[in-house]
Chains A and B, each alone.
Chain A
Amino acid sequence: MSSSPTLERLPLVVRDWLVGWLPESLRWLAGSLLAIVAVIVAFASLFALLTLVERKLLARVQNRPGPNRTGLPFLPFTKNRLFGLGQPLADGIKMLTKEDIVPRTADRVLHFLAPIALLAFAILTLAVIPYGRHLVPLELEAGVLYFFAAGAATELGVFMAGWASRNKYSLLAAMRALAQLISYELPLLLSIVPVVMLAGTLSPGGIVERQGGWSFGLLPQWHVFTPWGVTGFAIFFVTALAESNRSPFDLPEAESELIAGHLTEYSGFKYALFFMAEYFGMCALCGMGVTLFLGGWQAPLPFLAVVPSYVWFVAKLLTLLLAFMWVRATLPRMRIDQLMRLAWKFLVPLALVNLGVAAFWALTADWTGAVRATRWLIAAVLIAGPFVLLGRKLTTGLAPRTYRYAA
């Protein structure tokens, strides 16, 4: 059972209808531009919504209501404030009307380009994610490779911002940010190698197709429901937090230690662009996580497949984003040495072990019957053992911390 083809293809039908007004020679161009506009508009509104949802969620965790005063502008004289739904709009207007300060000694060109570069690379990554069965803005054979290449380029933007500000705090923070982002790039890539290995393709659409179907007609065959998949997803989740500068890895803009890191010398709309790029990056990484591990646009249960595929993708994406916020609401910021230790002494070895487990899983794909349970057991032990050992090793001799000079 699958959703009706009309509903499934609805966005494409709308696009074709719109493009149909143009002469034949311009249609491919208009179609591409329309896809770009659709992606940017969709994610910009998601960004606006997320800022509000994040503030509300953090507030609820801290026993307060969060922003709830701003109504929508077209309901000006009513008491109905719609849970503060107008807050993102008000924030946007505030950001636009703020003074845009450029330090006198700053490199004006780089200072101006940094937020644009960051945002551009973040938007580029959104192009290859399969949002639905037929909804891929850019179908690339090596889409996963493209995604992580473009994603890694955002580090350039961060360093541009720190360097161009000509501010020692900005530069220090940018270097720290660079150290963090490059360190976590490695476990991030290692965590997705098993997916590529097992799926045998670098195309995101192909990877989602491989995760279709249900074992026993009930359990979805998503990668996260395998021993190597769940480990890979856990590593991916942690490194995605670090790559998108989210708490507890928000050292690049540790406002209590480094003023605001590489954002110190940015104000007004440029600051808003950085913020936007950060959220776009987070959405892109979550989207890739959904694609690689959580079955992409596949429905979780067979009878739920009547719902169009893009609805499932959005639902999973929002769930993952909410999980990011939940982590932010819970964990305090790490120290830079803890951050580095976690990446190099724990995540990278664990990702390498996971690679071995994935290889074992691939080699034993033909085990059936009772031996199948053994396959699960061996894989679980192969993962859990190193996890416990590495976890013990991570803090040995380092905790609890003693303060020699504090009374």
Chain B
Amino acid sequence: MLGSGLLQGLAVTAKNFVGSFHDPARYTTVEYPEQPTKLPEAYRNFPFLVTENATDPMGTLRCVACQICEKECPPQCIYIEKSADKKPDATGKLQLYPKVFDIDTSVCMSCQICVEVCPFDAIKMDQVFAIATTDRFDGLLLKREQLAKSNDYYHSIHPTEAAEVDARLAAERKAAAEKAAAAAAAKAAAAAAQKPASPAVMPPDEPRRSSQSEGGRPPA
């Protein structure tokens, strides 16, 4: 009959109206600045530096200032200065660290190449987008203090990827410890045999390729 469709339509809108007051499925709007939304895990832009310990960010940077990212960066927005001294890295080996590590985010194009070439899982993609400043020069040039973010933060934004990285690093640490133990045992045995220590060639490091580095730098 004429009009039945109208009544059905009116019922639909009435249901939506009433539902918007009690049913979250009928009130899907998020009031953005007050209620930040969780970004999807795959969302990524602008790199940051991973630190092991949030209480001492500058002392526990994973970065060893190898400068690969600096060289690979297509728009050349990374600037690194090596340190003079060395500090133990994630596997306990003594390594250099970056005295200066700057990223000019006004130049950075979020291409993720720095992340793909990093052999130390030290630089990862962030999830920041509200980066507007009133100063387009210094405000957008991020220092290493601003870039350093903890591994826990990395876990909070990219959980799957971070778990993968942690597992790999743990395996490497274990392998390094076993190797050290084996080397110590061999040394002890050699000392016991009173033989001159043979110049044992160090086996090459397990290639530390990041999972996204297909087609990147060939393993050493």
Chain A interfacial positions (CB closer than 8 Å to B)? 57, 60-65, 326-327, 329-331, 346, 387-388, 390-392, 394-395
Contact = CB atoms under 8 A, between A and B. Distances in A.
B188 to A, nearest CB: 71
B20 A391 contact: no
10 contacts: A60-B20, A60-B21, A63-B20, A65-B29, A65-B31, A330-B12, A387-B2, A388-B1, A392-B2, A394-B2
Contact of A326 (B1, B2, B13): B13
A351 to B, nearest CB: 15
Given A63-B27, A65-B31, A329 B2 contact: no
Contacts of B2: 346, 387-388, 390-392, 394-395
Contacts of B14: 326
Interface in B135-173: none
Nearest to B11: A330
A62 B16 contact: yes
Nearest to B19: A63
Interface of B: 1-3, 6, 9-10, 12-14, 16-17, 20-21, 26-29, 31
A394 B3 CA distance: 12
B13 A391 contact: no
Nearest to B23: A63
Nearest to B8: A330
A392 B4 CA distance: 12
Contacts of B1: 388, 391
Contacts, number: 47
Nearest to B4: A391
B170 to A, nearest CB: 46
Contacts of B27: 63-65
A283 B6 CA distance: 23
Contact of A60 (B3, B10, B12, B16): B16
A326 B10 contact: yes
A391 B3 CA distance: 8
Ranked nearest first, the 9 interchain pairs of A and B with the lowest CB-CB distance are A391-B2, A64-B29, A330-B13, A60-B20, A330-B9, A61-B13, A60-B17, A61-B16, A329-B13
A63 B53 CA distance: 44
A383 B157 CA distance: 67
A329 B13 CA distance: 7
Best-buried of A346, A390, A391, A394 by chain B (most CB within 10 Å):
A391
Given A64-B27, A326-B14, A392-B2, 4 more contacts: A62-B16, A65-B31, A329-B13, A330-B12
Contacts of A395: 2
Nearest to A69: B31
A330 B9 CA distance: 6
Contacts of A387: 2
A392 B17 CA distance: 32
B17 A330 contact: no
Contacts of A60: 16-17, 20-21
Contacts of B20: 60-61, 63
A331 B6 contact: yes
Contacts of B26: 63
B9 A331 contact: yes
Contacts of B17: 57, 60-61, 326, 329
A387 B2 CA distance: 8
A99 B164 CA distance: 60
A330 B10 CA distance: 6
Best-buried of A61, A326, A392, A395 by chain B (most CB within 10 Å): A61
A60 B1 CA distance: 29
A299 to B, nearest CB: 26
Contacts of B31: 65
A63 B13 contact: no
A107 B112 CA distance: 62
Contacts of A65: 27, 29, 31
A65 B13 CA distance: 15
